Amino acid sequence: MSAALTLSEKLRTLPMLRVLVPMVAGIACGSLVAVPIHVCVVVTVVCGVTAGLAIRRRTAFLTLYVCLTILFFGATLARIHTPRPVVPQGGRVWMEIVLTDTPIVREGQRGAATSGTVTRWHPDETTPAEIGWHLARERLLVTIDTMWSLGAGDRVTFRGYVNPVSDTVDSYSRLMRARGYTGRTYITQYSHPAVAPERARSLALWAKNLQIAATERLRRLSGNAHGGSFIGPEGYGANAIAVAAAMTTGDRSGITPAMRRSYSRTGASHLLAVSGLHVGIVFMIVNALLWLLPLVRGGHIVGNVLAVVAIWFYAALTGGSPSVVRAAFMFSGAQVALATSQTRGPANIMCGTAVVMLAVRPGLLFDISFQLSFVAVAAIMAWFRPLYSLVASRWRLLNVVWGSLLVGFVASVATMPLVSHTFGVFSPAGLVLNPVVILTAYLTVGFSLLWIVVPAGFLAPVFRWLAGGSAWLQNRVVEMVGSVPGAAVEWTMPLWMVFAVYAAMIIFTAWLGARSTCKTAGPFILPR
């Protein structure tokens, strides 16, 4: 066996991490400091030319010049991609908008909430024939009067107002702006909406339709296949299937307010929002089902291809949400790394994916879903293998249980500071609960996906018992833990403390990486 790599040698095997750090710093500076775009461009070019000359002369400051180039490049991207309103705000205008999400009626709202992209507009006091339509591509939050039956892909022309993105909570406004939304509009009975006969077509809308079809199939397990909501009888009925749908397809329309509060109180609300955790569950399930395929000639190639296809099919099944697409890229890279025996490939893929996504949309840096997803996956990649090596045994089934519990514990610890700072809830119970509900999440997602892809309607009672039963058990555990005094504390961690905690985590990661040994056990692959 080769000697273990030192920490500095391990860092040199992660080139994308060295690109990601200065890019993140540059995007943060460009977003917080209003530097003119042309200044950022000029400084980026100057630093880039200097770095090129340093390469030829092999100067000692090459690393510094490269880091400065990436930093100012990130600042340039942040200034360029800062969302700016195109449609006039405050006055009434005619707009054509394509709805990009299924409208959902949430508690306390008077209409159905969705989002859309304005494709063209013109002032209200004129007609299109006079001045023509102004082309646009602006993302808006949309609230629709419940008297109108509209869905994702509908192209609607209406007269209305565009207001700034505002809310009683400033963090919500910042989050929406980070996601690219520049305003909010309403479609009411006075808007005179006209729906075009042909719906818009795109890959994203195809994924939305696939998500709707998968959700409708899950609804059949609760005896409510056509319309309505999941809310129904207790036990293995509609409430359990609603949780199964939220965890499998990302449709949370059937989650009751009481159930939402229970999950939030116990720090398990991430289970109801499809993210990297759920893609990781699919990744583990698929690899477990295909583990015998390499015994056949060429089976390892077929198995890896099928695993990547399954990951992306699941990403489409959930509507192609950004968090799932990010995770699909990461786990596809992990699959390729496993196929080529490159144990540090997944970490490089994760950092490379983050670099590409931040280059395309720098505002993601301030998106809490991006932050939670990246931090959780990074912690699992950094901590799981060395910690797992301490509990791995000869018993394969026991290793699966220990590994699943460890994944939940690591993700909970890593995301707890962000959750407390953003949502104002500190849940000590989550450290104990999350590793346990990870086990039920495997069962719920696995059986739900099997029901969706297997055309066997006569097995509905069996899958109702399997998928609904595991979701019901999970709900009961969450409710019981949530009822314990002190399970959650309303506390917002200060920003300086968040940075201090993550600095300590980075130091711990460096120490753990320096001490990690090489071991392979059970179904989990550890560094050589």
Query: What is the SS3 assignment for 95?
Result: strand
Distance CA 173, CA 499 (A): 23
Q: How is 464-487 classified by DSSP, letter by letter? A: HHHHHHHHHHHHHHHHHHHTSTTS
**CB burial readout 208-243, b (16+ within 10 A) else e:** bbbbbebbbbbbbbbebeeeeebbbeeebbbbbbbb
Nearest CA-CA partner of 158 in 93, 112, 100, 103? 93
Q: What is the pLDDT along the chain (528 residues), one digit of tens a residue?
A: 344 555 566 667 778 888 999 999 999 998 888 888 888 899 999 988 888 887 766 666 778 888 999 999 999 999 888 888 888 888 888 999 998 887 877 766 678 888 889 998 988 766 655 567 888 888 999 988 888 888 888 889 998 899 888 755 566 777 787 778 888 999 888 888 888 877 777 777 888 888 888 888 888 887 644 343 333 334 456 678 888 988 899 888 788 888 888 887 787 877 887 877 788 888 888 888 887 777 777 777 888 888 899 999 999 898 887 778 877 887 887 787 777 765 556 678 778 888 888 898 888 888 887 888 788 888 888 888 888 887 777 777 777 777 777 877 888 888 888 888 887 888 887 777 877 888 888 889 999 999 998 877 788 888 888 888 889 888 888 888 877 777 778 888 898 999 999 999 988 888 776 665 444 434 444 332
Distance CA 116, CA 97 (A): 6
| Percent of residues in the chain assigned helix, strand, coil, to nearest 5 | 60, 10, 30
Q: What are the start-end ranges of the H helices in 361-494?
A: 368-391, 396-423, 429-453, 460-482
161 strand-pairing partners: 92
Q: What is the pLDDT of residue 73?
A: 93
CA distances to 121, 182, 293, 311, 504 from 305, in Å: 45, 40, 12, 10, 39
Nearest CA-CA partner of 351 in 382, 388, 389? 382
Nearest CA-CA partner of 40 in 66, 84, 83, 79? 79
E strand or H helix at 284:
helix 276-289
Distance CA 115, CA 208 (A): 13
Nearest CA-CA partner of 269 in 492, 109, 427? 427
Query: What is the SS3 assignment for 225?
Result: coil
- Residue in this structure with the two tokens 């009925």, named with its chain if needed: 237
Strand 181-187 and strand 134-144: the pairing is: parallel
Distance CA 445, CA 354 (A): 26
CB 1 within 8 A of CB 518: yes
CA distances to 14, 232, 248, 449, 477 from 241, in Å: 42, 10, 10, 12, 16
Angle among Cα 241, 404, 507 to the nearest 5 degrees reads 125
**CB burial readout 304-332, b (16+ within 10 A) else e:** bebbbebbbebbbbbbbbbbbbbbbbbbb
3-state secondary structure 137-154: EEEEEEEECCCCCCCCCC
Nearest CA-CA partner of 382 in 17, 20, 25? 17
Q: What's the whole-model pTM score?
A: 0.76
